[in-house]
Amino acid sequence: MTKIFLATLLAFTATPALAEQPVTAVSIVQTADLDLSTASGQRALDQRLAQAAKEVCGTASDVDIAGTNDVRHCRVETLAGLSAERNQRIAAASGSPIKVAAR
């Protein structure tokens, strides 16, 4: 019986993974209703982006430390990747000139 169990275990661990493309999760963040020229509009945008990052990165069980760390890393990287677009949208909404100086 032990040999059958061991053979079954080896069959599952030795099976190569199928070459599947990774699934990309997408979440659409609506911004048309936000006044990004205000602090409250910017906070609302940040909250929506954080929620979208949670949605696309998923969750892990509290007992899965590696999975929890992967999810946390995914969220940080996702938000970091959005920072330039976030800042551009806020700058475009403000209508304020940008002061550039050099010494």
Q: Cα(19)–Cα(77) distance, rounded to whole angstroms? A: 25
Residue 102, domain member (yes or no)? no
Domain contains 91: yes
- Say if 24 falls within a structural domain: no
Task: Give the pLDDT confidence score for residue 87 in this predicted structure.
Answer: 93
User: Is residue 72 predicted with pLDDT exceeding 90?
Assistant: yes
Q: How confident is the model at residue 17, as a pLDDT?
A: 55
In a domain, 9, yes or no: no
Residue located via tokens 């493309």: 21
Domain membership of residue 26 (yes or no) is no
| Residue-level pLDDT at 22 | 74
67 assigned to some structural domain: yes
- Domain span at residue 70? 50-95
74, exposed or middle or buried, with CB in 10 Å at 0-12, 13-18, 19+? middle
* 16 belongs to a structural domain: no
Number of domains in the chain: 1
pLDDT tens readout for residues 18-54: 567 777 888 899 999 999 999 999 999 999 999 999 9
What is the C-alpha separation between 69 and 79, in angstroms, rounded?
A: 15
Amino acid identity of 55? E
Nearest Cα neighbor of 86 from 40, 33, 21, 29 is 29
